[in-house]
Amino acid sequence: MRILLSFILAISLQASMISTTSMLVKKQEGFSKYLYIDSGGYSIGYGTNLTGGLSKVEANWLLQHRLKMAYIKLTNYSWFRIQNKTRKIALVDLTYNLGLPRLLKFKAFIWCLNNGYYHGAANALKHSLWYSQVGLRAKTIYNMIYKGK
């Protein structure tokens, strides 16, 4: 029991220390939404140095976070909410790839989705510049939208 309490106390102190250090770093570094060059190379955010790249764990966390944000944004649109799971996955992928502002410019595609005209929606994608730029990804998304499976 004593070992467990020591362990819990150590974790609590560590979390407190990290929290305090985080506030200090934020104050000292400031925030930059965009990549910038500093004395250590390329940085972003609160001085996160990217010169050495990202670990797979960091890249996976960022991917998961961005996909969740895309999903949350899409839930504001009825044409998204009425889709089945496969089409929703395709739409989250499209939003991750294009960004929501660019996806919203696909007016014919969205109209077709909203009206259950999936062949037309898939063809609207197929005749876009995006389709010719992304290779196999485009064929995969096309089939997901068209077939819904």
Residue 18's H or E segment, with its range, is helix 2-29
Number of structural domains in the chain: 2
Residues 62 and 44 in one domain: no
Residues 82 and 104 in one domain: yes
Residues 11 and 58 in one domain: no
CATH assignment of the domain containing 116: 1.10.530.40
Neighbours of 141 (CB within 10 A): 23
Supply the pLDDT for residue 9.
54
Residues 85 and 128 in one domain: yes
pTM metric for this prediction? 0.80
Range 49-61 average pLDDT: 89
Residues 87 and 139 in one domain: yes
Q: What angle do helix axes 118-126 and 136-147 make, rounded to 10 degrees?
A: 170
Range 51-70 average pLDDT: 92
Identify the band that residue 72 occupies on the pLDDT scale cut at 50, 70 and 90: very high
Query: 3-12, 17-26, 41-50 — which is least confidently predicted?
Result: 3-12
Supply the pLDDT for residue 15.
73
Domain boundaries, position 11: 1-53
